[in-house]
Amino acid sequence: MNKKHGKQSIVFASPPQVAAAATIVGPMEGEGLLAAYYDKILEDNSGDQDSWEKCESYMIEWAMSTAVKKSGLTLEDVDYILAGDLLNQLMATHFAIRSLGRPFLGLYGACSTMAESLIVGAILLDGGFGGHVLAGVSSHHDAAERQYRFPTELGVQRPPVTQWTVTGAGAVLLKAMAGNDPRVTTATIGKVVDVGLKDPNAMGPAMAPAAAETLWQHIQDTGRQPAYYDLIVTGDLGVVGKTLLIQVMQEKGLDISANYQDCGCMIYREEQDSHAGASGCASSAVVLCSHLIPQMKAGKLNKLLFIGTGSLHSTTSYQQKESIPCIAHAVSLEM
C-alpha cells in the first residue's frame, strides 16, 4: 500500500501516537509566557554543569528520561532515539545519548529538527519497525551564541530583527499502539528553499518562504484547507517571519491569519527584550511539548499542523557570503 500522497506528503496508515512529552528550559524561558507549563526550569544558564555544551546535553538527557518516565515505561522499551541540536557534529545530542544506551539516529535540520524527528519516528512506527520511538531536540542560547556569533560577554548591539535562541530541550515519546492520545496523521517533507537573503541576523524572514512552500504543498497533497486545522504553528519565524508568511500565503490566495501562530512568538514576554522572538531547535520543541500536546490531551485542541522551520547556514557559509538555504517540515497531530 502506498502511503505517499501527492508530491511530498505521507498519510500514515496506522497513525502512531504521542505517549508522553517532556520539557526543560533555562531561567529566561522560565520567566516567559509559558512558565507555568514547563516540567523543569533551570536556576541558571549553566545548570550546575561546567560548560554550556554540557548543560545542553544534560537538558536533552533529562527531557528524554522524563518523557519515558511519564509514559510509565522504561528506557529498555525504546526501540530508537531520534535527536539533534544546533552545535557542530551534534555535540550536545551525542554526549547525552551516550548515557541513555539505546539505538540512535542523529538528525540535523537546524531548528526544524523537532518536526523532522517526529516525521522519521512516525515512519518507523507506521512501517512496523518498532513499538516506541523517542524524538527530541535541544538548544542553548550561550552555546549557540559562541558558535554562530560572538562570545557571550562581548558588548554588541543586536539588530531588532534578531531572535533569541531558546535554552531548553523537549522530547516526545511516540508509540505504535492505539490509545486515546494525539495521533501523528500526516506529514509533508520540505524542500530546501533559498530566496537569496544573506543576513544571518534575519533567519525568520529567510525561513518564511520555506514554510510557505511546505504549507502550500501540504494543502495540495492532502486536500486539506488551512481552516481544517484548529491551529497551524511554525517553529521559529519570529515576529517578522510570521508577518511575511501570512503575506506570502495571502499572495497565493490563502488566508491563514485566523488560526496561525508562531512558536517563536509564544515563549518570551515583550519586556524580556528578545527582539523579534525566539529561535533555536528548542523553540518549537518546548512549545509543542509543554503547551500544545497537553492542550490536545486535555481536549482543548483537536487538529494541529506543526511546521518546523530551519535555516541551514553555517558560520563558514555566511563568512563566504553565501545566502541562507532554509527548510520546513510539516506534521499534523490530531485527536
Partner 1 sequence: MPQAGGAGDDRYFNKWYEAQYNQVKPKPPLVKNMLWAFVVGGLICVIGQVFANYFVDMGLSKKEAGVPTTIVMVFLGAFFTGLGVYDELGRRAGAGSVVPITGFANSVVAPAMEFKREGFVFGVAAKMFVIAGPVIVYGVTTAVLVGLIYWIRH
Note whether 330 binds partner 1 by CB under 8 A: no
3-state SS string over the chain? Answer: CCCEECCCEEECCCCCEEEEEEEEECHHHHCCCCHHHCCEECCCCCCCCCCHHHHHHHHHHHHHHHHHHHCCCCHHHCCEEEEECCCHHHHHHHHHHHHHCCCEEECCECECHHHHHHHHHHHHHHCCCCCEEEEEEEECHHHHHHHHCCCCCCCCCCCCCCCEECCEEEEEEEECCCCCCCEEEEEECCCCECCCCCCCCCHHHHHHHHHHHHHHHHHHHHCCCHHHCCEEEECCCHHHHHHHHHHHHHHCCCCCCCCEEEHHHCCCCHHHCCCCCEECHHHHHHHHHHHHHHHHHCCCCCEEEEEEEEECCCHHHHHCCCCCCEEEEEEEEEC
Binding to partner 1 (CB under 8 A) within 70-129 occurs at none
- Cell 555566511 locates to 318
Q: Which residue, 128 or 321, has its beta carbon nearer to partner 1?
A: 321
Binding residue (CB under 8 A) for partner 1 from 244, 292, 293, 305: 244
Tell me the C-alpha to C-alpha distance, in Å, between residue 58 and each of 25, 52, 171. 11, 10, 13
Binding segment (CB under 8 A) for partner 1, from list 32-40, 115-123, 203-211, 302-310: 203-211
Our finding on whether 220 is near partner 1 (CB under 8 A) is no
Q: Does 28 bind partner 1 (CB under 8 A)?
A: no
Nearer to partner 1, 225 or 315 (CB): 315
Judged by CB under 8 A, the stretch of 62-70, 81-89, 92-100, 190-198 that binds partner 1 is: 190-198
Give the interface segment with partner 1, choosing from 98-106, 123-131, 223-231, 242-250 (CB under 8 A). Answer: 242-250
Residue labelled with grid coordinates 548543560: 55
Q: Which stretch binds partner 1 (CB under 8 A): 73-81, 112-120, 152-160, 295-303?
A: 152-160
15 binds partner 1 (CB under 8 A): no
Q: Which is nearer to partner 1, 74 or 152 (CB)?
A: 152
Distance, CA of 171 to CA of 64 (rounded, Å) = 5
Size of residue set near partner 1 by CB under 8 A: 40
Position 110: which residue type?
A: A
Tell me which of 72, 128, 155, 299 binds partner 1, using CB under 8 A.
Answer: 155
Taking CB under 8 A as the criterion, which residues in 265-304 touch partner 1?
A: 276
Range in contact with partner 1 (rule: CB under 8 A) among 96-104, 126-134, 239-247, 313-321: 239-247
Minimum CB distance to partner 1 smaller for 66 or for 214:
214
Q: Which is nearer to partner 1, 141 or 175 (CB)?
A: 141
Asked if residue 165 lies in contact with residue 333, where contact means CB atoms within 8 angstroms, the answer is: no
User: Does residue 41 belong to the site contacting partner 1 (CB under 8 A)?
Assistant: no
Q: How many Cβ atoms from other residues are within 10 Å of residue 155's Cβ?
A: 5
Nearest distance in Å: CB 326, partner 1: 9
Choice from 85, 126, 213, 221 touching partner 1 (CB under 8 A): 213
Contact letters for partner 1, residues 308-327 (x by CB under 8 A): -----------------x--
| Least distance between partner 1 and beta carbon 269 (Å) | 17
Contact set with partner 1 (CB under 8 A): 50-51, 146, 150-161, 191-197, 202, 205, 209-210, 212-213, 216, 239-240, 243-244, 247-248, 251-253, 276, 325
